[in-house]
C-alpha cells in the first residue's frame, strides 16, 4: 500500500514538473512571437532582445533543475533519496587520504587531521599536502608556521608532503601522485616521521583542510569504486559545519543544498557528475590515464572531470554526506569564494565550446548538455542586471520590452512564474528545508551580481585569478563604498518608481504598463536592499553557545 501511494505521488510530481516545463516553453514562445511581430526601432528591439535572452537563460536553467528532479523521481520513485550503503568485502583496498592546505589556521588543520586519524577504515594512509607559499611574506612568520605544522603532524603521526610551488592545488596533487609513483624531483620533501610510504594506493580521497569526516566515510565509497572498474571518481556533498553561525553562513549553506540535493543527484543519474574539488574519491589509475589534474584553470576539478569523461571513464555521485566543512561568514569572504568559483566555471565554458566544435562525439549529448548548462550558471550576474535595468529603461525612457498589453503579459507569465516557484520551494521543503532559508540563499546570490559580472568579464578576456583562501576567522562588515554597484542600482530603482508616479499623475496613459514596471522596480529594491541585512555583523552563534 505504501509503495502504491509513493508511486502515485511520484506521478503527481512528474506531472507538475512537466506542466511547469510546458508553461516555461509556452512563455518563451509567446515572448519570441511578440518580439518578432513588434514594429519598433532598433533601440527598443535591442533592449527587448537582451531581456528576452535573460529570461530564456533563467528558463533553461529552471527546466534543467526540473529535469534533475524528474530523474530522481524516475529512478528512486520518491523525493526522499536514501541510497543503499554498499558493503565492502574482506579485502580492503589501500586508500590515500590527502588533505590539501594553503596556510590554513593551525586549529583548523588539527581538528581535521584528528578526525581523519579516527576513521574506521584500516587500510588508509593520511597525508597533509602543505602548499603554503613559504617563499612569500615574513621569513620569521613562515618559519614559525612551518615549525608549528611539523610539530602538529608529528604529534598526530601524519606525514607532510611539500614541493616547489607551481600549479596551485592541482599542481600539488599531481606532484604528490608523481612522488607516490616513485619519482624524485627537485623540491620534493616528505616528513614521514619514520614511517615507510609503501606502494602507491589504489584510490585517493581529496579533502580541503577544513573538512571534518564521519568515521565511516571511506568504506561505502571504496566498495562502490571496487564494484565498477571504469568509475574514475565519486563526488559526495559539501555541507557546512558553521551553518548556524550567522546569516551569511546559513544562506551560503542553503545554496550548497540546492546544488548538492537534486541537481547533483540528477547529474549522477545522467552519468555527467563532475568533481567539486573536495569530498571526492579518485581511482589512481584513472588519474594517471588522463595525465593527472588539469593545471590551467582555477576550477581544475571540473576541467579534469571533462577529461575523464572524454577518455571513456565514468563518474558517480553519492548523496551520503561524508564530511562537513566551513563556509564563509561575511560578505567579503563569500564574495572571494564566489569570484573564484565563477571565474573558473565561466572560463570552462569557453573551453567546452571549443571542445564541442572539435570533438562533438567525445561525450554523450546528455553529458555535453550538463557541462555546458553548469558552466554558464555564473552568467546569472549579467542576467540579473539585465532584468533589473529593463523596467528602469521603460519608466525613464519609454523603451518597451514586452510589446504587449500588460494583461497579455500576465496571462503568459503568471502561471509559469507561480508554478515554477511552487515546485522549487516545495521540492526543497520535502527535504526539510525551510522557506525562509531558501529565500535567503537566493537573495545572497542576487546581491552578488557585481562579483559575477567581474568574473564574466575576466573570463571573456581570458584572465586568471589567484587562489584565495576563504577566511575562517569570524565576520566583518564591508565598507559601503565596496557595495557601490548594489547601492547604485538600488537608487536607480527608487528613482524609477518616483518617476513612475509622476508619469501616472501627469500623463494618465498606459497606466497599467507603468504600474507593472513600478512593481518590478519595487521588487528589485527589496532584493537589493537585503545587502544591508547580509553586511550587518551579528554575534556568531558559535560565540553565543
Retrieve residue 477's grid coordinates: 562588515
Contact by Cβ (8 Å): 280, 318: no
Does residue 387 belong to any structural domain of this protein?
yes
Q: Are residues 458 and 486 in the same domain?
A: yes
Retrieve residue 54's grid coordinates: 535573460
Contact by Cβ (8 Å): 347, 303: no
Distance (Å, whole) CA 372 – CA 61: 11
Inform me whether the pLDDT recorded for 464 exceeds 50: yes
Q: Are residues 38 and 154 in the same domain?
A: no
Distance (Å, whole) CA 394 – CA 102: 49
Inform me whether the pLDDT recorded for 543 exceeds 50: no
pLDDT in tens, 152-163: 999 999 999 998
Q: Which residues pair with 204 in a beta bridge?
A: 96, 282
Distance (Å, whole) CA 213 – CA 437: 25
Does residue 521 belong to any structural domain of this protein?
yes
Average pLDDT of the chain, as a whole number: 86
Inform me whether the pLDDT recorded for 474 exceeds 70: no
Does residue 369 belong to any structural domain of this protein?
no
User: Sorting pLDDT into bands at 50, 70 and 90, what band is 9?
Assistant: low
Question: Residue 512's CB: how many other CB atoms inside 10 A?
Answer: 11
Predicted local distance difference test score (pLDDT) of residue 541: 60
Least confident of 117-121, 236-240, 458-462: 458-462
> Which CA distances in Å does 522 have to 159, 328, 448, 493?
57, 29, 19, 7
Q: Are residues 533 and 423 in the same domain?
A: yes
Q: Are residues 44 and 108 in the same domain?
A: no
Measured N-to-C along each axis, helices 168-180 and 300-310 cross at an angle, to the nearest 10 degrees, of: 60
Does residue 235 belong to any structural domain of this protein?
no
Decide: helix, strand or coil at residue 241.
coil
Q: Are residues 13 and 143 in the same domain?
A: no
Question: Residue 406's CB: how many other CB atoms inside 10 A?
Answer: 17
Record the pTM. Answer: 0.88
Does residue 538 belong to any structural domain of this protein?
yes
- Structural domain tally of the chain? 2
Distance (Å, whole) CA 472 – CA 475: 8
Predicted local distance difference test score (pLDDT) of residue 83: 64
Mean pLDDT, residues 249-258 taken together: 88
Q: Which residues pair with 280 in a beta bridge?
A: 206, 235
User: Sorting pLDDT into bands at 50, 70 and 90, what band is 540?
Assistant: low
Predicted local distance difference test score (pLDDT) of residue 350: 84
**Maximum average pLDDT range among 26-40, 83-97, 304-318, 319-333:** 304-318
Predicted local distance difference test score (pLDDT) of residue 545: 36
Instruction: Tell me the residue range of the domain where 452 lies.
Output: 2-79+377-544
Inform me whether the pLDDT recorded for 5 exceeds 60: no
Q: Are residues 103 and 141 in the same domain?
A: yes
User: Sorting pLDDT into bands at 50, 70 and 90, what band is 2?
Assistant: very low
Q: Are residues 501 and 420 in the same domain?
A: yes
> Which CA distances in Å does 22 have to 19, 63, 322?
5, 9, 37
Distance (Å, whole) CA 135 – CA 538: 37
User: Sorting pLDDT into bands at 50, 70 and 90, what band is 229?
Assistant: very high
Inform me whether the pLDDT recorded for 292 exceeds 90: yes
Does residue 314 belong to any structural domain of this protein?
no
Element (H, E) at 381: helix 380-397
Inform me whether the pLDDT recorded for 455 exceeds 70: yes
Mean pLDDT, residues 509-530 taken together: 91
Q: Are residues 424 and 443 in the same domain?
A: yes
pLDDT in tens, 403-441: 556 666 666 677 777 777 887 888 888 788 888 888 999
Q: Which residues pair with 124 in a beta bridge?
A: 95
Inform me whether the pLDDT recorded for 27 exceeds 90: no
CATH of the domain at 193: 3.90.550.10
Inform me whether the pLDDT recorded for 269 exceeds 80: yes
Amino acid at each position: 500500500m505504501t509503495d502504491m501511494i509513493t508511486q502515485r505521488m511520484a506521478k503527481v510530481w512528474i506531472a507538475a514538473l512537466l506542466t511547469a516545463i510546458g508553461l516555461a516553453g509556452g512563455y518563451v514562445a509567446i515572448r519570441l512571437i511578440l518580439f518578432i511581430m513588434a514594429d519598433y526601432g532598433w533601440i527598443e528591439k535591442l533592449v527587448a532582445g537582451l531581456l528576452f535572452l535573460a529570461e530564456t537563460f533563467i528558463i533553461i536553467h529552471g527546466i534543467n533543475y526540473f529535469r534533475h528532479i524528474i530523474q530522481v523521481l524516475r529512478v528512486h520513485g520518491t523525493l526522499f533519496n536514501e541510497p543503499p550503503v554498499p558493503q565492502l568485502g574482506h579485502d580492503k583496498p589501500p586508500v590515500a587520504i590527502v588533505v590539501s592546505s594553503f596556510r590554513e589556521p593551525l586549529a583548523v588543520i588539527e581538528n581535521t587531521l584528528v578526525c581523519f586519524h579516527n576513521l574506521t577504515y584500516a587500510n588508509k594512509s593520511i597525508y597533509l599536502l602543505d602548499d603554503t607559499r613559504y617563499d612569500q611574506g615574513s621569513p620569521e612568520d613562515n618559519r614559525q608556521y612551518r615549525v608549528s605544522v611539523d610539530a602538529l603532524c608529528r604529534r598526530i603521526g601524519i606525514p607532510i608532503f611539500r614541493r616547489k610551488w607551481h600549479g596551485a592545488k592541482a599542481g600539488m596533487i599531481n606532484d604528490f601522485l608523481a612522488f607516490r609513483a616513485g619519482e624524485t624531483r627537485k623540491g620534493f620533501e616528505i616528513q614521514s616521521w619514520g614511517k615507510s610510504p609503501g606502494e602507491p594506493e589504489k584510490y585517493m580521497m581529496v579533502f580541503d583542510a577544513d573538512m571534518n569526516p564521519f568515521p565511516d566515510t571511506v568504506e561505502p565509497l571504496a566498495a562502490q569504486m571496487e564494484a565498477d572498474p571504469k568509475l574514475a571518481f565519486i563526488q559526495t556533498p559539501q555541507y557546512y559545519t558553521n551553518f548556524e553561525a550567522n546569516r551569511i553562513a546559513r544562506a551560503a549553506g542553503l545554496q550548497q543544498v540546492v546544488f548538492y540535493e537534486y541537481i547533483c543527484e540528477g547529474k549522477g543519474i545522467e552519468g555527467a557528475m563532475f568533481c567539486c574539488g573536495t569530498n571526492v574519491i579518485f581511482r589512481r589509475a584513472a588519474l594517471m590515464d588522463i595525465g593527472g589534474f588539469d593545471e590551467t584553470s582555477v576550477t581544475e576539478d571540473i576541467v579534469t572531470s571533462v577529461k575523464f569523461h572524454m577518455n571513456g571513464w565514468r563518474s558517480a555521485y553519492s548523496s551520503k554526506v561524508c564530511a562537513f566543512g566551513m563556509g564563509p561568514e561575511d560578505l567579503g569572504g563569500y564574495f572571494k569564494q564566489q569570484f573564484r568559483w565563477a571565474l573558473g566555471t565561466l572560463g570552462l565554458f569557453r573551453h567546452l565550446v571549443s571542445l564541442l566544435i572539435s570533438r562533438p562525439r567525445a561525450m554523450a549529448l546528455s553529458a555535453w548538455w550538463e557541462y555546458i548548462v553548469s558552466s554558464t550558471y555564473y552568467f546569472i550576474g549579467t542576467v540579473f542586471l539585465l532584468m533589473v535595468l529593463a523596467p528602469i529603461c521603460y519608466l525613464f525612457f519609454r523603451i518597451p520590452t514586452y510589446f504587449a498589453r500588460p494583461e497579455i503579459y500576465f496571462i503568459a507569465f503568471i502561471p509559469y512564474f507561480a508554478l515554477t516557484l511552487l515546485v522549487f520551494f516545495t521540492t526543497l521543503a520535502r527535504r526539510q528545508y525551510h522557506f525562509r532559508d531558501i529565500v535567503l540563499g537566493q537573495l545572497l546570490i542576487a546581491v552578488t551580481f557585481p562579483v559575477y559580472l567581474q568574473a564574466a568579464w575576466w573570463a571573456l578576456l581570458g584572465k586568471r585569478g589567484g587562489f584565495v583562501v576563504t577566511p575562517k576567522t569570524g565576520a566583518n562588515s564591508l565598507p559601503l563604498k565596496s557595495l557601490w554597484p548594489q547601492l547604485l542600482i538600488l537608487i536607480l530603482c527608487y528613482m524609477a518608481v518616483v518617476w513612475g508616479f509622476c508619469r501616472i499623475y501627469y500623463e494618465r496613459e498606459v497606466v497599467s504598463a507603468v504600474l507593472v514596471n513600478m512593481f518590478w522596480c519595487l521588487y528589485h529594491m527589496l532584493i537589493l536592499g537585503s545587502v544591508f541585512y547580509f553586511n550587518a555583523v551579528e554575534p556568531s552563534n558559535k560565540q553565543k553557545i
